[in-house]
Chain A
Amino acid sequence: MSHIDLRHITKRFGSFTAIENVDFRAEKGRIHALVGENGAGKTTLMRVLFGALQPDEGEVHIGSEAVRLQSSSDAIARGIGMVNQHDSVIPALPAWRNLILGAEDGPWLNQAAVIERAEALAKPLGFEFDWTAPAATMSPGATQKLEILKLLWRNAETMILDEPTAMLSPADAEGLYGTLRQLAEGGKTIIVVTHRLPEVLEGCDEVTVLRGGKLIESRPVAGLTAPQLAEAIVGRSVEAPELTPPNLGEENLVVENLTLGHSLRDVSFSLRAGELVGLAGVDGNGQRELLRSIMGVLRPDRGTIRLQGLNVTKASTRARLGAGLRLIAEDRYQEAMIASWPLVENAALGQHLRPPFARNGRRDLAATRVAAQAMAERFRTKFVSLDQPIGGLSGGNQQRFIAGRALADGGGVVLAFQPARGLDLAGIDDVYGALRAHTRAGGCALVVSFDLDELLAHCDRIITISHGELRVPAPEQARDREAIGRMMLGEEA
């Protein structure tokens, strides 16, 4: 008898069926992976288990008892806990208060008692925390550990983790799976929702594949290969992209001795026409500051930036965009788009001064529509109308549109911050494929990602950043996953 047993679950949103007749089982003591593309229904299924959504059909059994979960509190009361994709810690609060947030046992907080029990939970797992330091000072890895402790604090027997390694370095990700294994051996039921296939194959016991809201298969991981799993997810065979050597040209972007507070220390590198370069690093090591400095949104303390041969160190963002710089921004909602605006208005953003969007200060609305249509179609954005607010699209579709905009006119230098964030396998292939096509046509691109495997699979070469210091792997280590992983942590390769 499985500890978690979801039977024939169907969930509809209006006329759209998110999941249809899906069965899902998870045993105590096992790590269960749930995989599938964007929109396959993974998150919907987990939200049903977590009580956040009520299924239209089907039954939920927990510990061989049929239950009706009306809300997340019902699920928590039955020992189910969920860690969301985006961390839910409040940066200004100390770790101990984040730990008990929402699970306080009364109006009075007893710091000493909380920390005592927290230590008792953390110790067996080998976690160490400075409980009184603000959560803002914690590393992504420590934050993820705190999220797990939050579930233990709430006496969770079943733990659901949605993309837990998205922000972690390879070493931290391995550490996380070590912890999960320990918890499973202690009798917990672990469910991991993930896009990363190596994690499934190395870290999990069972795997369930969803595609288009339907159950494709549910089986033990043992004996499964990566291509088989990828094929099950996508529904067709997937081949690793073939990396043809780049045809190098001029240095299109040259950064020299860029320094900005403690975020960037003497950063120097260059991009040549024709190459796709990956910038590997753990989140928060200066990637953000580097891209913003190149864009001209942040002013570095020292150093020079040359774009297509022009010194743009002191130039405005507008001038840099005019010189052929393009950005796929990190934060879609804040930086890349105006969520309440329709797609057609977002299409012009950044290039709105220039043809085809405007001439002599007068906007060309007809040409803007044509361009917007092309941007949307470039990566098969799913949308109803160009006049619908872009904020209403799913995250993956927003990202497709924004990537389409950045690559629309074959501009020279593309900076991409996690361009595949929120995309499924097909979307990732689309975007990296387009970045490659862009570089092969004579442009160049710098891609920031926290996923080293993604960069290794698609980029011509990889540079690393750690604590604001940029390092280039030695030629013999250029594709050495372990060595680059150590450099990401600032250790010797």
Chain B
Amino acid sequence: MSGRARVALVLVVVALALGPLFLTPVPPSEWVPELWGSSFGEPRGWALTLRELTPLLIGGVAVWLALRAGLFNIGAEGQMLVGACATGAVALAPAFPGQLVIAIAAGVLAGALWALPAGALRTFRGGHEVISCIMLNQLAFLLTGWLVKGPMKDPNAGGATTKMLDESLRWAPIAKFGRAELDWALPLGLALMVGLWYWRKHRVGGYELEAVGTNATAARFAGIPAEMVQFRAFAMSGGLAGLAGALLVVADQNRFYDGMTSGKGFDSLGVALLAGANPLALAPSALLFAALNAATTGMNQIGIPKGLSGLMLGGLILLFASASQRKDNAHE
């Protein structure tokens, strides 16, 4: 594509993304500062963005892992939700020693178990994981919804939510900047990401994962048990998504409520796809999604519907994705 055509294309996408905002009754003098202020502005914006960032980063790590094995874990949303629900259930049980650790482990396990049927169907029977994951997502919505409207419901609350966790089971923030809070979940997510990077580059397991994801037949001829590698990667992906849900409960919301993941698992797909082949790109990718999510929340508060700002978000993601794709092609 010629340089001029490229510029024109970018302008079209920007116009499509931002254009609708001019149609709202809210004047640009209000929403332009809000767009920035609610994502990176001090201090409210950072607070919103940071809260969005952690689950997207860990969810992104989860989806990325499956993606490199050649599997599309569209079930991350459901796995995150059952992970959060399981963690909430254990954390709200009568106190016992090691409750916090076991609660988080329960979230990881629940996520992994929720991924298992889809992983097994795909690797051992050839059933497409996208179809089974979409069905498992529905089951997760319905099951957790029923639990939190029934057995797990806080009798004193009006909505479908559990009680708040005991103070001792909440992760205290490690730092506060105004209203922005930083808790251990974010460093943990970053550590997972760096760990994944190291594993892929320096461990035989990471090499085999890449081989299976890129060319499963060649991997089989090289003695790599491709089905087993895929199955394990998918279960691990589910476990990591479950962890993202667990941390949402213990580090952020301190309770479980109906539909609390609110699309973060689906956004994780975008985070992982945008990051491409390099796991270290998951952090900036998650930051972009987090900031845009925070911006739509902020703009909703000044009267711009989420649907409209979501359109803008989609346009911007398209722009970033095509930019990163172009770089990928230049490598080949």
Contact = CB atoms under 8 A, between A and B. Distances in A.
Interface of A: 295, 297, 316-322, 327, 329, 334-341, 345, 348-350, 352-353, 358, 361-363, 365, 389, 392
B215 A363 contact: no
Contacts of A322: 223
B224 interface: yes
B211 A349 contact: yes
B223 A318 contact: yes
A392 B331 CA distance: 12
A316 to B, nearest CB: 7
A348 B222 CA distance: 9
Contact of A353 (B202, B204, B215): B204
Which has the most chain A C-beta neighbours within 10 Å: B202, B217, B218, B224?
A: B218
Interface residues of B, number: 19
Contact of B218 (A335, A365, A389, A392): A335
B215 A327 contact: no
Contact of A317 (B202, B220, B332): B220
A340 B225 CA distance: 21
24 contacts: A295-B221, A316-B225, A317-B222, A317-B223, A318-B223, A318-B224, A321-B222, A321-B223, A334-B215, A334-B217, A334-B218, A336-B218, A336-B221, A338-B215, A339-B215, A340-B332, A349-B222, A350-B221, A352-B204, A352-B222, A358-B204, A363-B201, A365-B202, A389-B332
B301 interface: no
Given A335-B221, A353-B204, A363-B207, 19 more contacts: A295-B221, A316-B223, A317-B222, A318-B224, A319-B223, A320-B223, A322-B223, A334-B215, A334-B218, A336-B221, A338-B211, A340-B214, A345-B207, A348-B207, A349-B211, A361-B204, A361-B205, A363-B202, A363-B203
A297 B220 contact: yes
B129 interface: no
A18 B329 CA distance: 26
Contacts of A358: 204
Nearest to A297: B220
Contacts of B252: none
B97 to A, nearest CB: 35
B202 A362 contact: yes
A350 B221 CA distance: 7
B34 interface: no
Interface in B173-214: 201-205, 207-208, 211, 214
A297 B224 CA distance: 11
Contacts of B201: 363, 365
B221 A297 contact: yes
Contacts of B211: 338, 349
Nearest to A337: B218
B203 A361 contact: yes
A350 B217 contact: no
Contacts of A340: 214, 332
